Structure 1
Amino acid sequence: MNNPAKWLRRSLCFMAVSVAATVNAEQISMETVAPSSVAGIVPQTMASFWAQDGVDVQLSMNQTLTKSLLKMTQGALDSAVVPPNAYSALVGGRAPYAGMGDKGAALAQNVRSLFSIPASVYHAIVWNDSGIRSWADAEGKRIFIGPPAGSANEQITSIVKAGGLSEGQYEAVKAPWGAAAQNFQDGQFDVLVSTYGLGSQALSELSLSRDIRLLSVKPENAEPPAGLGLVQRTIPAHTYPGQQNEADVIGWQAVLMLAVKKDLSDELAYELTKSYMENRQALADGNALLQELPSANPLAGVNAPLHPGALRYYREAGIEVPESLTVN
C-alpha cells in the first residue's frame, strides 16, 4: 500500500474489531482426532470462521472420540467429532460401551448432531514384497485394527470381513493411531488398515520408502453395512508413487458427525452449522484433502437427532431432513 499511515489505521481498526469479537464471543469446548486427518483439519480450519461469527472454539486434538462422546453425554464437553457407529454402540450397549446397557442409551439422549463430515478413506496396506496380494493371503497374519477401545475396531473388522477373512482367521493387533505407521514399518504387523485422505502426502512418502499394495474388499461386498458410518469409495490404481495395484481398489470411507451436548443453546448450534455450511467452499479451496466438502450431503451418515438450532438452519436453507433426525 502506498500510504503507510492509512495502512496503519486500517490495521489498528481490524485489530480492534478482532479483539472486540474475541471478547464478545461465546466459548465452547470441542475435541477431535489427529491434526493431519480430515476430521482434525475441518474443525481446526473452521475455528477461524466460527470466531468471525462469534463462537470461540477451544479445540483439543489427538483425542479418543469414543471417550469424547462419553464426556459430552455427561456434560463435561460441549462438542466433539463423533463416529456414527460409536453413537449407535452407546445406544445399544455394544463395545466399547459393553456393559453399560440402559445407562448408555440414557446418556445418548444428551447428544445432538449438527452435520456430517466426509472423512478419510480406509486404506488396507501391505508391503508389495510381502507376498500378500489379497485378503486371502493375509490369513493367519497380524492385522492392525485400530486403537484399544476405539470405534474403528468395528469398522476395520468389517472391512477385513468384506475382504473375505472372519475374526479368528487372523491376529488382530490394537495400538494407538499415532504409532501405527511406524509399527508397520518396524514389522510389528503385516497389514496396516488406517485412514488417510485420498492422495495423502504421508502415505505417498511411505510408498516411496518401499513399494506398497492396497487390498480391496470383494466386489459383492462393496456396500458397507448400515450404521457403521461408512460409505463406498474407490481408490484408483497408482494413486501413490509406490502403489503397485494395476486395478482400482474398492475401499470404504469414514463419515463422521459433529455433535454437541443437548443443552447447548439453539443460537450456538445454529451459528456452528450455518458457518460451516457457508464456508465449505473456502475450506475446499484451501486444502486439497477437503475437496468433497462443498458437494457432500451434510446429513450423510448422521444418526443422532439434530439439535433444534441445526434443524432451524436446514429448514431455512431448504435442505431436506430425514424425519428420523427431527425427534428431540
Structure 2
Amino acid sequence: MSKHYFKSALIAASLLASPAFAQVNLTAETASSGGSTHLSAAHLTEIAGTSGVANIQLAEGQTLTNSLQNVAEGSTDIASTPHILPFLMSRGVGPYGKLGKEKGAELASNLRSITPYTLGIFFLYAFDSKGINGWDDLEGKVIFNGPPRGGALNNARTMIELITGLKDGDGYTGIQSNWGQATAVITGGEPDGVVLPELFPNSRTATIGSAGKITAWSMPKDIYESEAMQKYMKAPGSASVEIPIADLQKNMGEDWTFVSEDGTFRALATIGGDVVNKNMDEELVYNLVTAYIGSLDALKAKAPFGETVSYDNPAWGMCGANPMKYHKGASRAWEDAGYEVPDCAKDNS
C-alpha cells in the first residue's frame, strides 16, 4: 500500500467515525462511459455514497460544454470537463460565444477543480498493412484526424503541421467522422493512418488492435523539445507527456508496437478534471476529495488505462494559461494526503 493511499485511508476512516458527519444530496454530470472522465465521476459517486459523504445523482452521456455552465451557474453541483472549456468560457468564445466576454468571465470565475485526469493522448498510429513508416511518411496519405469539428480535430491538425509541416488538404487528406463511427472508419481501411487522442488502452484501441497489427509513433524528440511544440503543449487544457515504451507495450499487448528514438514515448495530452462551484461548502469538498483520494488504488484498478491517466497528480496541467484553481477544500485534502498542489493552482481568494 502506498504512503499516499495509507494516509488518505486513515483520514477517510476518521471521517466515517465522526458522529457529526452528515450526508447530503448532490447532482453531477459526466460524459458517456468508456473514458477517464466518466470513470472518475462514477467512482466519486460510488465512494461518496459508500463512505457516507454524499448521495450523488449522476447524469451520464452529457454535453460537457453545457455541464460546465450548469456548475458555473449553480444548477449542477459537480461536472467533468476538459480544462480548455473553462478557458473558453472565461473569454466568452467558442461554445460560449453567446455569453460574451464579460458574462463568460463572471461564470468562469465560479469554477473550481477537485480532481485531475488525462482525457486522451494524441499520437500517430497505423495498421502495419498500410506500410506507413512514421511521421515523415504522411505526405499524400489519408489521415483520420477526429470528429468534424472541435478541439480534438484542431489538436490533431496542429500536431501534424508542427511535426511534418503538412496541412490538412495541402499535403495530406484528412477525414473525419463522429466519435461513434470512428472505430468502424479506422477498421474499415479508408485511412492510411490515424492521429487521435487515445488511452492506453481504451475500448477503441482494443477493438482496432484485434483487427490487425498496429504500429504507433512517438513524437520525434527534437520536435517535442522545440520551442514551438513546448509552447503549444502549455496551452490551456494541454500538457506534455512522457511514458516508458515498456509500460505502453505491457498495457497494450502484442497487437501494438511503439516506436521512439530512445525508449520514451512523447506526446501531447488533453487534460481536465471534475469541477464544482466555488461556493460549495469547504468541509463537504474536503470530505468528498479525501474519500476519493483514499480509494485511488480501487479507482485505477477499474479500467486498463487507470494507471496512465494521472488520477493522482493534482499538479497535472495546472497554472500558466490554465485559469482553473483547486477548491480550497480540495487542495487541503490533496495536501493532507501527502500530495503537492502548486501555489499557483490554489484558490487564495
Shorter-normalised TM-score: what interval?
0.7 to 0.9
- Which one of 256, 264, 267 corresponds to residue 283 of structure 2? 267
Which residue does the alignment assign to 1:107? 107
Contact 1:121 1:197 in 2 (8 A): yes
Partner of 1:4: none
2:80, 2:275 within 8 Å by CA — same for their partners in 1? yes
Q: CA contact under 8 A between 2:187 and 2:211: conserved in structure 1?
A: no
Instruction: Choose from 315, 323, 331 the match for 1:299.
Output: 315
SS for the counterpart of 1:296 is coil
Q: Residue 226 in 1 paired to residue 226 in 2?
A: no
How far off its partner does 1:317 sit?
4.3
Deviation at 1:92, TM superposition (A): 3.5
Does the 8 Å CA contact 2:113/2:274 hold for their aligned counterparts?
A: yes
Specify which of 250, 254, 257 is matched with residue 241 of structure 1: 254
TM-score (norm 2): 0.74
Q: For residues 147 and 78 of structure 1, what CA distance do their matches in structure 2 show?
A: 29
Matches of 2:139 and 2:27 in 1, distance apart?
Answer: 44
SS in structure 2 of the partner of residue 49 of structure 1: helix
C-alpha displacement at 1:182, in angstroms? 1.3
Aligned to 1:213: 215
Cα separation, 2, equivalents of 1:205 and 1:147? 18
Shift of 1:123: 4.0
Match of 1:28 among 26, 29, 34: 26
Deviations 1:124-162 (A, max 9, x none): 322222233223332354444434554333433343234
CA drift of 1:121 comes to: 3.1
Amino acid across the alignment from 1:193:
V
CA-atom RMSD in angstroms: 3.1
Letter in 2 for 1:231: S
Q: Secondary structure at the match of 1:33?
A: coil
CA distance in 1, matches of 2:146, 2:47: 32
| Separation of aligned partners in 2, 1:97 and 1:316 | 36
| Partner residue in 2 for 1:258 | 274
What pairs up with 1:48-197 in 2 under 5 angstroms? 48-52=46-50, 53-97=52-96, 100-148=100-148, 150-168=150-168, 169=170, 170-197=172-199
Q: Please list the CA deviations of residues 101-138 of structure 1 after superposition, one character each: whole Å capped at 9, or x if unmatched.
A: 33322221121111212444334322222233223332
Name the amino acid aligned to 1:226: K
Q: Which amino acid aligns with 2:66?
A: K
Asked whether the equivalents of residues 92 and 105 of structure 2 are also in contact (C-alpha less than 8 Å), the reply is: yes
Cα gap change, 1:62/1:192 in structure 2, threshold over 3 Å: closer, same or farther?
Answer: farther
Rounded to whole Å, the distance in 2 between the matches of 1:278 and 1:263 is 24
Change in 2 beyond 3 A, CA 1:161/1:94? farther
Q: TM-score, normalised to structure 1's length?
A: 0.78
Q: Pick one of 39, 43, 46 that aligns with 1:45.
A: 43
When residues 201 and 83 of structure 1 are mapped into structure 2, their CA distance, relative to the original with a 3 A threshold, is: closer
Q: Aligned residues: percent identity?
A: 24
Structure with larger RCO (C-alpha < 8 A, sep 6+): 2
Contact 1:29 1:59 in 2 (8 A): yes
Question: 5+ residue gaps in structure 1?
Answer: 1-23
Q: Could you tell me how far apart the structure 2 residues matched to 1:179 and 1:96 are?
A: 23
The answer on whether the counterparts of 2:81 and 2:275 sit within 8 Å (CA) in structure 1 is: yes
